[in-house]
Amino acid sequence: MAHKANTGTVPAFFNDILGYSKGYYASYCEPLSAQLGGAEELNENKNLWKSARHALDYLKQADSIPHRAEGEAVLLDCVPATASRILDLGSGDGRLVGLLKLERPQAKIIAFDYSPVMLKALRRNFAADPSVTVVEHNLDRPMPDLGVFHAIVSSFAIHHLGHERKRALYAEVYSAMAPGGVFCNLEHVSSPTPALHEHFLSQIGISPENEDPSNKLLDVQTQLGWLRGIGFVDVDCYWKWLELALLVGRKP
């Protein structure tokens, strides 16, 4: 799949990250067997994202995930240009933070992650931008009180949490949102059938054996139902390609 994301004019740090990854890869990585802990099944508690190798592997191929730029473009359209406090959940190296900043240079953005590699990349990439605050936070734990936000966003991160934790996090997001605020979760969701799941994997060039054991995929409708039940309005799936979906809700 040679689909290259078109992110327009992006900050130079996006060009840097591959070199950064290569430089740290050899010394930082741990054996895959150690990451997997000897077990190969999907596991509700397994999350490999604190592993340097796992994080670096993702960063190397993040741009080539098919259609992601389409989902990101719709997400960016959903976040008002006037949003002045934004929270990004599971920021990685700051890909979404950088995109949000292109048209909202004044916005204050807080970026959560817990992977040492991602936190290091985030801090480096936004070292010169005092409007971006990087916070080490494990999304499995309740969100710290950091005031209210006009937008809370996330990209391909929440599906690494167990289902109950996803639902609890959505309620915490609602509580942390200013009235009128928008929640945009660009997410990896489950397929309705095993055949469609295999089709998705083939489309992104991953064999079933190499699927990320950290994934805890859940269908779109259940998640939209949760958002409505919590109190979000205008809840819908605003964009979808196979297992990539943008779930959006607004706090009235």
Ligand X SMILES: C[S@@+](CC[C@H](N)C(=O)[O-])C[C@H]1O[C@@H](n2cnc3c(N)ncnc32)[C@H](O)[C@@H]1O
Residues in the site for ligand X, rule: CB under 6 A?
A: 47, 49, 58, 62, 90-92, 95-96, 113-115, 118, 138-140, 155-157, 160
| Residue 152 phi, psi (nearest 5) | -125, 125
Pick 121 or 235: Cβ nearer ligand X = 121
- Give the shortest CB-156-to-ligand X separation in angstroms: 4
165 or 228: whose CB is closer to ligand X? 165
Q: By CB neighbour count within 10 A (0-12 exposed, 13-18 middle, 19+ buried), where does 128 fall?
A: exposed
Enter the DSSP assignment of 231. T
Question: Cβ 215 to ligand X, closest distance in Å?
Answer: 10
Pick 138 or 221: Cβ nearer ligand X: 138
Longest dimension (CA), the chain: 49
Tokens describing residue 165: 């934790």
Q: How far is the CB of 38 from ligand X (least distance, A)?
A: 21
Q: End-to-end CA distance of the chain: give it in Å, rounded.
A: 41
Comparison of 25 and 114: residue with beta carbon closer to ligand X: 114
Q: At what angle do helices 116-125 and 52-61 cross, to 10 degrees?
A: 50
Helix (H) and strand (E) counts in the chain: 9, 7
Q: How far is the CB of 205 from ligand X (least distance, A)?
A: 15
Listed in sequence order, the DSSP H helices in the chain are 13-28, 32-36, 52-61, 68-78, 95-103, 116-125, 163-175, 194-203, 220-230
Nearer to ligand X, 91 or 223 (CB): 91
3-state secondary structure of 189: coil
Which SS3 state, helix, strand or coil, does residue 42 take?
Answer: coil
Nearest distance from C-beta of residue 100 to ligand X, angstroms = 11
Q: Name the closest residue to ligand X (Cβ).
A: 92
CB of 216 to ligand X, least distance (A): 10
Nearer to ligand X, 158 or 224 (CB): 158
